[in-house]
Structure 1
Amino acid sequence: MLSKIHKLETVAKELDPCVEKRQIWAKQVIKHSEEFMETLNTDKSKAFNKTEHNGNQLLYSLIKEEPTPMENLLELFRHNVERNGLVESHGGHMAYVNSGGLYPSSLADYLSDVVNPYSAMFHDSPGSVRIENMVLKWIAACFGYPDSFAGNLTSGGSASTVLALAAARDSRNIKARDFNKCVVYTTTLSHYCAEKALNTIGMREVVRRTIAVDSNYKMDVDILRETVKKDIEAGLIPFVVYTTAGTTDLGSVDPLETIAGISREFNIWMHVDACYGGFFILSEEATHLFKGIEKSDSFCVDPHKSLFIPYGCGAVLVKEGSKLAYSNALNRPAFYLEDSFKDECQDEPSPCNLSFELSRHFRGLRVWMPLKLFGIRPFRSALGEKILLARYFYDRLSETDGFQLGPYPELSVVVFRFIKCPCDTETFNKELLEQLMKDGRIALASTRINGVYYLRICILCFRTHLKEMDLLIKLISVNVKKMLKAISVKPWEQQEQYVRG
């Protein structure tokens, strides 16, 4: 047996490379990442790369018994991942709600992965738990939550919403027999993670009311009030009002102050989805929009959106922290954790007691390090800049003949479409989007407002500046003119041009 152990140990030690090999690999990776970041600032750089292979080169590089050199792996990564599809860290990426990926966060993740602290429990890693709790306390202060709150850094908005709605369920002592009587109030602009979260926590049977939005695309509070009254009269249980501070489609913010009053009046849990828009509260251009969020029962906000942190970091905060703790409490002791639990610190709650996660990534460092390195001021400026860039784009396009725009941007989302075309408007705008994505320097998306097809931009990357907005305006103008010219050419003229070509 000893002979076999020694033999296995010799091979197993390859997993713990020497300092020389570590340094070689580190230099190769850093050189590669620096080249990538430098190309983001070039004029030929693209926010969207469409390839025919769609990353299938990876399929021909199977995981085998023998090792593969680092340089080969980096080349596979370059061609199949970073140069294929959307480039999230590119200043021209305005599709969906992106994550810019602050560089200090990558350094924080490197440290987190090398040291690999067990950040779930205070006993095992008090420093990492303190950092996560410091980040959560800072977030709570930004949104006006009291010291009695409890929170958790999650993988993102979906996990955060599961925790918030589970806490709402348990705080009301709602049992399975009551699920079909409970009512959740959303709007047509609410994020679909709410639907998924209800299913995940076993409440698929709840009654789901879609409250209409007003002319500003915010939850209509008068309709909400009347709907709640009718549900009570019908013997139903008004359960959760799911509000949004920054809708994905339009960036609109629901009237939080008024909804908070209705929620208190009828004893309904008020949750705020601030995943995209939440940290705009730091900018003077948007602070007033969030009045009333401090009166909510819970809210979710994603550092990996409006705080520019890389993907994989959301946050949920519950005003009465004991409710989040109760919802995630152990019903029986875990005997192998007896030593860890006996050293619990009252002032530093362990993340594992406030979430369904046990083993988890140390997410706090990727938020804490950039905030400490940069200070808050550049974050405030960047967020204010994004709002003003959205309004700049809106104003410029509204001055251009033929465009119809959605509501004036409260945050950093703008929707628009070209309507003066001699063909089907939706078809024309779909083609316009396709042409812009073929160019690839700016990436956009589409959405539907009241069933109508619009092009949509969300300005959120910290690398997006005035240069990118002017380029987008130019690309839109050039492509619209080109498309209109192509439509105006008669079929025989197209054939004649083809023959001459």
Structure 2
Amino acid sequence: MTLDDLPELERLARALEPDPSLRARAFARTVQYAHQYLDGIADAPAYRTDPQRAAALLDHPIDEHGIGLETALALIEAQVDRPGIAPTSGRFAGYIPGGGLVHAALGDFLAAISNRYAGVFFASPGAVRIENLLLRWMADLARLPATCAGYLSAGGSGATLSAIVTARDTAGIEGEAIARAAVYVTEHAHHCVRKALRIAGLGRVQWRLIAVDAGYRMRPDALQDAIRQDRADGLQPWLLVAAAGATNTGAVDPLTALAEIAGCEQLWLHVDAAYGGFFLLTETGRQRLAGIEAADSLVMDPHKSLFLPYGTGALLVRDGEKLHQAMSEGADYMQDT
């Protein structure tokens, strides 16, 4: 390629930048479709069956030729927005997945329009400050200290992986120590916990299922017994995963009692509050979630009980320096940031 090629390349690239008139028409038609959708959600079915399972989309494979806005909107309406669960429906009463909020959708739209990069402060100070303000707001809800740090993730599963890596590195769980490390959960722990352990190279840890009470909450006495036995067997009690609103049952483990055990036994206390964390905004929620402030790491999912667009999760780590040590890396292309 030479400088003489630039005019032709520019001409080709201009197709990605519609002129103001075309842009206005595209915006207007898209907004019209959005209004049409929103105007119908109050009486929309919570679920629509589709024997073809959106198979008509397969007639439009991704290729070098576009299909046009009208065709795209028609496909979205018939093949995406109609079949399956409609969480925005006025008749949808499921607790997961959550519905949506118009104002959140508008914020998502503006973020996509400017496409600011929030990976480093240098690239977009404003976007990074917004993220940090949101994290601080969540940390204050959970009464976590000023040392807390975290990040917004694509969901609770990714946030859980980061929490487990941080807990792993803090305790030095590596090599032969992996098979001796004990993890304490109930049968209602989210599947992402075990998956995160495998991804983090910890698939050989000792997985302990602790008994629950009649309310599906972890029994502190059963936890203490399991820890005592593991120590007697020469194992290393390491990670306690407590639920602040289990996905299966909505149960909240006795966080205060579990936090006391974790402190005495030097366990890392991870609280899965992906579903229940934002009930801290209510008086009842604050009472039920008492003890959450003792968490070493905490996962919350705004795309669940805050009804924000998917995927929006969050990780908070009590000691932000431990998160930094586990996750920070450098590169030549970041030297000026």
User: What range describes the TM-score normalised by the shorter chain of this pair?
Assistant: over 0.9
Q: Which residue of 1 aligns with 2:10?
A: 9
Q: Which runs of 5+ in 1 are unaligned?
A: 341-501
Q: Is the 8 A contact 2:238 2:268 kept in 1?
A: yes
Amino acid corresponding to residue 27 of structure 2 in structure 1: A
Q: Which residue of 1 aligns with 2:111?
A: 112
Q: Which residue of 1 aligns with 2:298?
A: 299
The 2-side partners of 1:241 and 1:67 are apart by 51
Q: CA deviation at 1:97?
A: 1.1
Q: Is the 8 A contact 1:101 1:311 kept in 2?
A: no
Per-residue CA shift, 1:283-330, capped at 9, x if unaligned? 122220111110111110100011111111001101011111110022
Amino acid corresponding to residue 149 of structure 1 in structure 2: C
Q: Is the 8 A contact 1:276 1:302 kept in 2?
A: yes
Q: Which residue of 2 aligns with 1:337?
A: 334
Per-residue CA shift, 1:409-431, capped at 9, x if unaligned? xxxxxxxxxxxxxxxxxxxxxxx
Q: CA deviation at 1:275?
A: 0.2
Amino acid corresponding to residue 220 of structure 1 in structure 2: R
The 2-side partners of 1:306 and 1:65 are apart by 40
Matched, 1:256 2:255: yes
Identity level (%): 37
The 1-side partners of 2:231 and 2:223 are apart by 12
Per-residue CA shift, 1:3-53, capped at 9, x if unaligned? 5432332122100111111111111111101111110112xx211010122
Determine helix, strand or coil for the equivalent of 2:239. strand
Q: Is the 8 A contact 2:239 2:270 kept in 1?
A: yes
Find the structure with the greater CA-based Rg.
1
What is the 5 A alignment of 1:13-412?
Answer: 13-42=14-43, 45-95=44-94, 97-330=96-329, 333-340=330-337
Amino acid corresponding to residue 124 of structure 2 in structure 1: S
The 1-side partners of 2:231 and 2:13 are apart by 65
Q: Is the 8 A contact 1:122 1:129 kept in 2?
A: yes
Per-residue CA shift, 1:90-133, capped at 9, x if unaligned? 23223461121211111111111111111011111110000000
> Of the two structures, which has the highest relative contact order with CA contacts closer than 8 Å and spacing of 6 or more?
1
The 1-side partners of 2:258 and 2:17 are apart by 56
Amino acid corresponding to residue 281 of structure 1 in structure 2: L
The 2-side partners of 1:64 and 1:116 are apart by 24
Q: Is the 8 A contact 2:108 2:309 kept in 1?
A: no
Amino acid corresponding to residue 200 of structure 1 in structure 2: I
Q: Is the 8 A contact 1:99 1:311 kept in 2?
A: no
The 2-side partners of 1:225 and 1:294 are apart by 21
Amino acid corresponding to residue 139 of structure 1 in structure 2: M
The 1-side partners of 2:4 and 2:296 are apart by 62
Q: Is the 8 A contact 1:185 1:240 kept in 2?
A: yes
The 1-side partners of 2:332 and 2:190 are apart by 40
| TM-score normalised by L of structure 1 | 0.66
Amino acid corresponding to residue 338 of structure 1 in structure 2: Q
C-alpha RMSD over aligned residues:
1.2
Greater mean deviation of Cα atoms: 271-280 or 108-117: 108-117
The 2-side partners of 1:200 and 1:80 are apart by 34
The 2-side partners of 1:118 and 1:28 are apart by 28
Per-residue CA shift, 1:73-98, capped at 9, x if unaligned? 00000000000111122232234611
Per-residue CA shift, 1:341-393, capped at 9, x if unaligned? xxxxxxxxxxxxxxxxxxxxxxxxxxxxxxxxxxxxxxxxxxxxxxxxxxxxx
Q: Which runs of 5+ in 2 are unaligned?
A: none
